[in-house]
Amino acid sequence: MRVIYNEELKAVADALEHMAEGVCTAMHGAGKALLDQDMEAAKSVIDGDETIDALERQILDQCVKLLAQQSPVATDLRAVVASLRLASTIERMGDLAQHIAQTAYRCSPNSALSDDAKTREIFESMRQLLDITADRLPGMLADRDATLAQQIIADDNKLDELHQQTFALVLNDSWKGTKQQLIDVVLTARFMERLGDHAVSTARQVVYIVSGFDPSKEPKDMD
């Protein structure tokens, strides 16, 4: 159910939803690049980031214009302030998806990850969680859906646990990857964990719009 009537506010909401759809696609693409070695997907994530960046700039302009011309209050004001913050966060999510795709692209035709089953298993689980989160993003924003927001927040703990497992994995003597693979595993896992944190941040912004509850604190990442 849409809850916005003002034309300009609707234009901001549409642009944000457009950004969220772009990042949803980029997150799926990053997973395909990393785990299916799909270089078409990698290329498309890398090239597509400019569109997401341009939308952030557009939203900043739209919000400043809206604040100057309409002096919104209450929920509308919170929506504009949250949109400014959401645009930054979603832009950053695009960057992180791009980093993952770039890592996969650099290592191609080899995998960026070491070959062992356990490494693949952990990253496959992280990818599945992020794919689910990615699919929730556009609808959560379009409908200001606090239930979807809560689901995104709740799922982030599982992602954090998997992220911690990557450290235990590579530190174990049985892990036989190269130094480059160790670097790629550590950084890629961090990019994925940060994607989850930023998704939580977007979810908190939606809670803020709906309830006025202060969402300013980004989730702590625990590294």
Chain residues binding its own copies by CB under 8 A are 53, 56-57, 60-61, 63-64, 67-68, 71, 73-74, 77-78, 81, 84-85, 87-88, 91-92, 95, 99, 102-103, 167, 170-171, 179-180, 182-183, 186-187, 190, 214, 216-218, 220-221, 223
Contact 152, 199 (CB under 8 A): yes
When the beta carbons of 75 and 128 are compared against its own copies, the nearer one is 75
CB of 149 to its own copies, least distance (A): 18
Cβ neighbours, 10 Å, residue 172: 10
Contact 70, 142 (CB under 8 A): no
Contact 46, 101 (CB under 8 A): yes
φ, ψ dihedrals at 169, nearest 5°: -60, -55
CB of 184 to its own copies, least distance (A): 10
CB of 110 to its own copies, least distance (A): 16
CB of 17 to its own copies, least distance (A): 18
When the beta carbons of 69 and 147 are compared against its own copies, the nearer one is 69
When the beta carbons of 25 and 181 are compared against its own copies, the nearer one is 181
- H/E run at residue 10: helix 7-35
Q: Tell me how far apart the alpha carbons of residues 164 and 114 are, in angstroms, rounded to a whole number.
A: 17
When the beta carbons of 151 and 186 are compared against its own copies, the nearer one is 186
When the beta carbons of 32 and 92 are compared against its own copies, the nearer one is 92
Q: Tell me how far apart the alpha carbons of residues 40 and 46 are, in angstroms, rounded to a whole number.
A: 10
Q: Tell me how far apart the alpha carbons of residues 149 and 65 are, in angstroms, rounded to a whole number.
A: 28
In the block, which residue shows the tokens 């689910």?
132
CB of 141 to its own copies, least distance (A): 18
When the beta carbons of 10 and 167 are compared against its own copies, the nearer one is 167
CB of 135 to its own copies, least distance (A): 25
Give the burial string for 95-132 (b: 16+ CB within 10 Å, else e): bbbbbbbbbbbebeeebbbbeeeebeebbeebbebbbe
When the beta carbons of 139 and 219 are compared against its own copies, the nearer one is 219
Please count the residues of the chain: 223
CB of 15 to its own copies, least distance (A): 13
